[in-house]
Amino acid sequence: MIKQKFLALFLILGMHGTVLAQPLTIGYSDWPGWVAWEVAIEKGWFEKSNVDVKFEWFDYVASMDAYAAGQLDAVCMTNGDALVTGATARRSVMALINDFSNGNDMVVAVPGIDDIEQLRGRNVGVEVGFVGHLLLLQALEEAGLSEDDVNLMNVPTNETPMVLASGQVDAVVAWQPNSSQSLKMVPGATAIYSSADVPGLIYDTLAIAPESLDAFPEKWAKVFQIWYRVVEFINDPETRGEAIEIMASRVGVEPQEYSKLMQGTKFLSQSEARERFAATNDLNSLQGSTELANRFNLKYQVYSESQAIEDYMSAVLYEGQ
Amino acid sequence: MKHSGLIAASFALPLLIWVAVSYVPGLWQPYTLITDPGGVSFYRVDMLVANEQFASQLESARSKGLPLPSGIRSNPVYLPAPHDVTRALYTSFTTPPARRSEVWFHQSIGHSVSIIFWGFLYSCLLGVPIGVLCGAYGPVSRLFEPFVEFARYFPAPAFGALAVAILGIHDAPKIAIIFIGTFFQMILVVANTTRRLDNGFIEAAQTLGANRVRQLLQVTIPGILPDLYKDLRILLGWAWTYLIVAELIGTSSGITWFITQQARYKNFDMVFAALIILGVIGLLSDLILERLGRRLFPWQRQNDGVR
């Protein structure tokens, strides 16, 4: 009797556990370049192509945690975060470039400060060790300043609009939607620097577990083809409106508001993305950009061992086409 | 119901303050919502600016002979007006899912309720028996309670990543967080309730020759049932407070996804609507359980509840 009850309890407990995952599971989150997958999901392109994939919607950080815990076959993340996740928990291979940030990441300053140089001696709110920090350092370097010339205050990116509005800082660094919220909340505030000034600093990618890429090359090739159908659908003026409608609905905002966020995201065509896999030392390639992120992560002790960049990227899906 | 007037007032007062702050001009409204930018280059329609800022721009536009900006007094976006929240409350339920993979709003809420239900159920299935045993037997108490006292300070969210690693990305890790958040407290509260049972009952049973098992099953448990029921009602409220952290773990789902996403895009009317729904569900379920409790334990009626 008691035994049966225990058995029943375990059965109930078991129901909540996951079945051993058969389809490819991919984690995605709120960034225009990744929300775009929603177009393929909504249109049923995966079913039509007979690819067994399951997209799971997450908060960005939670999606990387789930990947690190071995619960996903792939996750959408930036090249810098792919390094961090790999160095601290689980390596991935960036096999598809969705886009690069082309203005969505910004340094937003209060009225009266019109360029980076004027930040000398001022307070800047930024989430230390994340992509915003990287953007700020790049901006300072271009203006001939260093990090010691400004006073950094560690602020979670989600809170940057409120912090800027509080008057405690003279500038914040944030990405969408926080960057445009910062602009809205402080009258006269302007973006004095943005990722449009350094296109290629932040690449947004599909980072796949190496063992999964190795085991299911045909499946990933189909996912790859569907992605470029999505890019065509977004770039075609005839269907762009419908794409934005689907994407806006995924994140719960009005389409016209969402189309502003699309402008700061440069979706790469298949051939453009292919070129970004070339080995260069500048930000025009995934390698150069990731190299820079690696140095940044080491300098700020996000991790302590330099990562072998070439292990983190592969153009295998592009070569197979 | 002789206190019904006061009960109504307890809701009316905060509501009144909210209405006053939202609609009475000049009571607070520290911002101006721009309706016409006039000659101010950086003003845009629907922009919120501080009143002093607006006043100085108005002054400078006037002195320069530029078209004057105009606007209406307004509160920060974090405090939406009651009518906006009412509209959000209505539209959130009536808007059909826009995509195939989306669900209705009430289904999101149902999903959240099911997380609470399972987490709390598992917590009860383990926590109540252990708590009763701790309260009834000294050695059991000394074996369990020191560690439980220690473990109850663990912040449940810290187990999020571990829960995902073990239990997957869907509901199981969320249920686990609700469980961790309530289980340890439950043991201590239930043990305490058990200890408070009038010792006279136990002594009488011993005098009558009841063995330990019969004491527990026929005296202790029936004796504490009404208080145990009350404890669980309070602990259920505790479980609700863990919902938001639990649902942030793994895939985004339930009402938490709705709240965090709408907050990110500063749609605070939607956020308030969701908060009101959470409050209503909590309050209603507690009222129902209280009524049920009166039915189940009529002899407790005199010393139950607020007098």
Strand ranges of the sheet holding A190-194, from the earlier edge strand across to the other edge: A151-154, A123-126, A171-174, A106-109, A190-194
Task: Answer yes or no: is pLDDT of A111 > 60.
Answer: yes
Q: What DSSP string runs through A241-295?
A: HHHHHHHHHHHTS-HHHHHHHHHTEEEPPHHHHHHTTS--SSTTSHHHHHHHHHH
Residues of chain A found within 8 Å of residue B260, distances taken between Cβ atoms: 59
Once rounded to an integer, what is the mean pLDDT over residues B109-133? 95
Amino acid letter, residue A80: G
| pLDDT tens-digit map of A24-73 | 999 999 899 999 999 999 999 999 999 999 999 998 888 998 999 899 99
Query: How high is the pLDDT of residue A23?
Result: 92
pLDDT of A210 strictly over 80: yes
Across the A/B interface, how many CB contacts are shorter than 8 Å?
A: 100
The domain limits of chain B are: 4-78, 91-303
Q: Which chain A residues are Cβ-neighbours of B266 within 8 angstroms?
A: 161, 177, 181
Average pLDDT, chain A: 89
- What is the rounded average pLDDT of the residues B211-217? 85
Instruction: Give all strands (DSSP E) within chain A, no chain letters.
Output: 24-28, 53-57, 74-78, 93-101, 106-109, 123-126, 151-154, 171-174, 190-194, 203-208, 265-267
| pLDDT at A21 (0 to 100) | 43
Domains of chain A listed by start with CATH number = 2-100+201-289+296-319 (3.40.190.10), 106-194 (3.40.190.10)
Contact B164 A44 (CB under 8 A): no
Question: Would you state the pLDDT for residue A240?
Answer: 96
Polymer length of chain B: 307
**A18–B169: do the CB atoms touch at under 8 Å?**
yes
* Residue A167 near chain B (CB below 8 Å): no
pLDDT grade for A4, boundaries at 50, 70 and 90: low
Sign of CA dihedral A87, A89, A92, A94: negative
- Here the ipTM equals 0.72
Q: What is the structure's pLDDT at A35? A: 96
Is B172 within 8 Å of A42 when comparing Cβ atoms? no
User: Which architecture characterizes domain B91-303 according to CATH?
Assistant: Orthogonal Bundle (1.10)
Separation in Å, CA A151 to CA A129, A138, A148, A170: 15, 16, 7, 10
pLDDT in tens, A160-186: 988 998 889 999 999 888 898 898 888
Inspect the interface and report whether the beta carbons of A257 and B265 lie closer than 8 Å: yes
Q: How far is B7 from chain A (nearest CA, A)?
A: 36
pLDDT tens string B71-93: 988 888 788 999 999 999 999 89
Does residue B100 carry a pLDDT above 70?
Answer: yes
**pLDDT tens, residue by residue, B226-279:** 999 999 999 999 899 899 889 988 888 899 888 888 887 778 899 999 999 999
B58 touches A at CB < 8 Å: no
Which residue has tokens 């129901």?
A: A15
